[in-house]
């Protein structure tokens, strides 16, 4: 006997949603590809647009840490500030997501990466030293070691990155603590002018005299106000220096190294002397390292004796050029291509108890993460002297308070397996909580609300820790300079957009 069957022609809801999402993604992809084509037509030679599958695409869009990579629709390499302006105008008109990348050393995703239009500043590599004004104008696509090498024949230097591979752009705009910070302040404290491509496409030179509010905002305000293509920075005399890295591998001496670090933090007042103390777990082995630096051919007698007299397994300490010392640091090359997170903690002082907690955290968390493809876990203590905040007579976006120096302590983790991304983030956040609790117990009650160094902050750091009480002023600058919120289409720590009424435009 025949049976009548009724078949529904209604598709399941999940399938309808899936198809709808697929169509939306395809439409967005097609739209962005069209934007890439518009940019290619608008740019002057030799600016170019590059697509996936080519070596140039990889070169212009790939970050130092693989965890920071997204696959953009195209990678654009403009060669002039005017071309950057044309790109921003097209992005504004089409409302296309984008990113701006300098050296590509950001360890957090979403800061200088995108699935839209990826702008590389790698063509901006000019260096012009002015012997009369003792200033240097240089492109935003350089890496610090390139700038150091170019300035060395003139016997001058600038405050910049402490390891090879770090780009000048993101470092400066995010604050920039250097080995010369005690002497001249943060990196942007030496800036006298920015060549800025505004979100409207206009190219301007920004100085304290030409636009003090925008000059203030660019000093720590990141990529909220346009694309910087050149910097002009004051130089200072630089001859032979004394410094290098001492490595300690015997856990029996770790206590002595921690004590030496705490003593240096509490007693050192020489602005030419700098210490960076590294507490690391590298491929299953705990190590302590001291990067010692003196801006002169030799330090005063006894200044670093505690570190020099502790039994070590390696040392690169010598009287040498600054460029040679920087280029001898291999961590960037050793870890290139890893997945990585960086998380900052604001530390007013490095006591022995704090340094001891660091070692305890390393020895407990390092082994726990070893079965999660951990490659490297490191804590970087940076005991700068309090006067570093006195070098700038003008207000700056970072830090939002200069009443107390909160040094930019860094928790850094590197691993191989993408499936462990969340676990690694959770791990360093827990370490951060332990360290902040330790500091609060030591009497530093304001640490949990203190200024957070932008260059060490995770991508989801709270804005009140990045901009704090400076936020209203930054919003007003943003409202004036970027009324269409073009820079809001890029990643980074975004100043909340304060809309402009159309009649005001």
Given this model, what pLDDT does residue 3 score? 46
Lowest mean pLDDT among 11-15, 134-138, 354-358: 11-15
Given this model, what pLDDT does residue 498 score? 73
Query: Could you tell me the pTM of the whole model?
Result: 0.92
- Mean residue pLDDT of the chain comes to 93
Given this model, what pLDDT does residue 141 score? 97
Domains and CATH numbers, the chain: 39-120 (3.30.43.10), 127-237 (3.30.465.10), 241-464 (3.40.462.20)
What's the mean pLDDT in 50-57? 95
Given this model, what pLDDT does residue 321 score? 97
Neighbours of 16 (CB within 10 A): 11
- Residues 399-438 have pLDDT tens digits of 999 888 999 999 999 999 999 999 999 999 999 999 999 9
* Main-chain phi, psi angles of 373, to 5 degrees: 70, 25
Annotate 254-319 with three-state secondary structure. HHHHHHHHHHHHHHCCCCCEEEEEEEEEECCEEEEEEEEEECCCCCCCCCCHHHHHCCCCEECCEE
Q: How far is CA 113 from the centre of its chain?
A: 13
Exposure b/e, 128-137, CB count within 10 A at least 16 = b = ebeeeeebbb
- Residues 351-383 have pLDDT tens digits of 999 999 999 999 999 999 999 999 999 999 999
DSSP string of 149-211?
Answer: HHHGGGTEE----SSTT-BHHHHHHT----TTHHHH-SGGGGEEEEEEE-TTS-EEEE-TTT-
- Residues 156-214 have pLDDT tens digits of 999 999 999 999 999 999 999 999 999 999 999 999 999 999 999 999 999 999 999 99
Percentage of residues of the chain with pLDDT beyond 90: 88
């Amino acid at each position: 006997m025949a049976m009548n069957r009724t078949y529904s022609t209604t598709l399941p809801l999940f399938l309808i949603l899936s198809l709808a999402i697929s169509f939306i993604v395809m439409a967005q992809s097609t739209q962005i590809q069209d934007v890439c084509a518009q940019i290619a037509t608008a740019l002057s030679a030799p600016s170019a647009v590059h697509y996936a599958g080519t070596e140039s695409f990889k070169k212009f869009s790939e970050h130092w840490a693989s965890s920071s990579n997204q696959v953009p629709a195209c990678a654009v390499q403009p060669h002039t500030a005017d071309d950057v302006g044309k790109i921003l105008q097209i992005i504004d008109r089409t409302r296309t997501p984008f990113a701006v990348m300098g050296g590509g050393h950001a360890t957090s995703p979403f800061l200088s990466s995108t699935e839209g239009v990826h702008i590389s500043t790698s063509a901006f590599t000019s260096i012009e030293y002015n012997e009369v004004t003792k200033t240097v104008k240089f492109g935003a696509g350089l890496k610090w070691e390139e700038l150091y090498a170019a300035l060395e024949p003139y016997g001058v230097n600038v405050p910049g990155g402490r390891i090879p591979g770090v780009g000048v752009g993101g470092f400066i705009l995010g604050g920039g603590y250097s080995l010369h910070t005690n002497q001249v302040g943060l990196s942007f404290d030496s800036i006298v002018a920015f060549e800025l491509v505004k979100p409207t496409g206009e190219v301007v030179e920004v100085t304290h005299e030409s636009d003090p509010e925008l000059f203030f905002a660019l000093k720590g305000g990141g990529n909220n106000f346009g694309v910087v293509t050149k910097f002009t920075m004051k130089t200072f005399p630089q001859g032979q220096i004394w410094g290098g890295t001492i490595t300690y591998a015997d856990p029996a001496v770790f206590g002595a190294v921690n004590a030496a670090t705490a003593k240096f933090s509490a007693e050192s007042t020489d602005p030419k002397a700098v210490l960076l103390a590294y507490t690391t777990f590298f491929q299953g082995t705990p190590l302590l390292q001291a990067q010692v630096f003196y801006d002169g051919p030799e330090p005063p007698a006894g200044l670093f004796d505690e570190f020099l007299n502790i039994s070590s397994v390696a040392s690169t300490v010598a009287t040498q050029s600054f460029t040679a010392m920087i280029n001898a640091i291999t961590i960037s090359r050793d870890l290139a291509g890893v997945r990585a997170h960086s998380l900052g903690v604001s530390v007013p002082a490095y006591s022995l108890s704090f340094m001891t907690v660091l070692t305890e955290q390393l020895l407990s968390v390092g082994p726990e993460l070893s079965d999660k493809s951990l490659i490297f876990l490191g804590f970087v203590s940076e005991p700068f002297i309090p006067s570093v905040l006195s070098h700038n007579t003008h207000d700056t976006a970072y830090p939002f308070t200069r009443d107390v120096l909160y040094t930019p302590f860094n928790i850094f983790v590197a691993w191989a397996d993408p499936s462990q991304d969340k676990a690694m983030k959770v791990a360093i956040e827990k370490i951060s909580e332990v360290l902040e609790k330790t500091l609060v117990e030591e009497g530093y009650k304001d640490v949990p609300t203190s200024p957070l160094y932008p260059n060490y902050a995770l991508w989801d750091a709270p804005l009140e820790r990045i901009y704090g009480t400076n936020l209203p002023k930054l919003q007003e600058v943003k409202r004036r300079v970027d009324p269409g919120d073009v820079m809001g289409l890029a990643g980074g720590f975004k100043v909340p957009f304060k809309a402009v009424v159309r009649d005001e435009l």
